[in-house]
Chains A and B, each alone.
Chain A
Amino acid sequence: MARAVSRRHKVVVTLAAWSVALIIFFPVLWMILTSFKTETSAVASPPQLFTADWTLENYAEVWARSDYPRFFGNSVVISVGSTLLGLAIAIPAAWAMAFVPGKRTKDLLMWMLSTKMMPAVAVMIPVYLIFLRTGLIDTRIGLVIALMLMNLPIIIWMLYTYFKEIPAEILEAARMDGAGLWGEIVHVLTPMALPGIASTMLLNIILAWNEAFWTIVLTTTNAAPLSAFIASFSAPQGLFYAKLSAASAMAILPILILGWFSQKQLVRGLTFGAVK
Chain B
Amino acid sequence: MGKIQLTRVRKSFGEVAVIPGLDLTIENGEFVVFVGPSGCGKSTLLRLIAGLEDTTSGVIDIDGQDATNLPPAKRGLAMVFQSYALYPHMTVRKNIAFPLKMAGMAQAEQDRRVERAAKVLNLTDYLDRRPGQLSGGQRQRVAIGRAIVREPAAFLFDEPLSNLDAALRVGMRQEISELHQSLQTTMIYVTHDQVEAMTMADKIVVLNAGRIEQVGAPLELYNAPRNIFVAGFIGSPRMNLIEGAEAARHGAHTIGIRPEHISVGDGPWEGVVGLAEHLGSDSFLKVAVDGIGTLTVRAPGEVSARHGDRIRLAWAGKLHRFDAEGLAL
Return the contact of A192 from the options B72, B82, B89 (Cβ within 8 A).
Answer: B89
* Docked-complex contact B98 and A176, CB < 8 angstroms: no
How many residues of B are in contact with the other chain, CB < 8 A?
22
Binding site for A on B (CB under 8 A): 50, 52, 71-73, 77-79, 81-83, 85-89, 98-99, 102-103, 146, 150
Alpha-carbon distance between A172 and B143 when the two chains are bound, in angstroms? 13
Q: What 15 new A-B contacts, CB under 8 Å, besides A167-B85, A177-B150?
A: A169-B83, A169-B85, A170-B85, A170-B86, A172-B81, A173-B85, A173-B146, A175-B72, A176-B78, A176-B79, A177-B73, A179-B102, A192-B88, A192-B89, A194-B89
- Determine the chain A residues whose CB is within 8 A of the CB of B50 once the complex forms: 176
Alpha-carbon distance between A194 and B89 when the two chains are bound, in angstroms? 10
- Determine the chain A residues whose CB is within 8 A of the CB of B86 once the complex forms: 170, 173
* Docked-complex contact B79 and A173, CB < 8 angstroms: yes
Write the chain B residue with the least CB distance to A173. Answer: B85
Interface core residue of A167, A170, A176, A178 (most chain B CB under 10 Å):
A176
Binding site for B on A (CB under 8 A): 167, 169-170, 172-180, 183, 187-188, 191-192, 194
Number of A-B pairs whose CB atoms are under 8 Å?
A: 61
Minimum CB–CB distance for B186 against chain A, Å: 16
Minimum CB–CB distance for B306 against chain A, Å: 42
Alpha-carbon distance between A180 and B98 when the two chains are bound, in angstroms? 13
* Docked-complex contact B89 and A176, CB < 8 angstroms: no
Alpha-carbon distance between A176 and B85 when the two chains are bound, in angstroms? 11
- Determine the chain B residues whose CB is within 8 A of the CB of A192 once the complex forms: 87-89
Alpha-carbon distance between A169 and B103 when the two chains are bound, in angstroms? 20
Write the chain B residue with the least CB distance to A184. Answer: B102
Alpha-carbon distance between A173 and B87 when the two chains are bound, in angstroms? 9
* Docked-complex contact A170 and B72, CB < 8 angstroms: no
Minimum CB–CB distance for A56 against chain B, Å: 48
Minimum CB–CB distance for A6 against chain B, Å: 38
- Determine the chain A residues whose CB is within 8 A of the CB of B87 once the complex forms: 170, 173-174, 187-188, 192
Alpha-carbon distance between A258 and B142 when the two chains are bound, in angstroms? 40
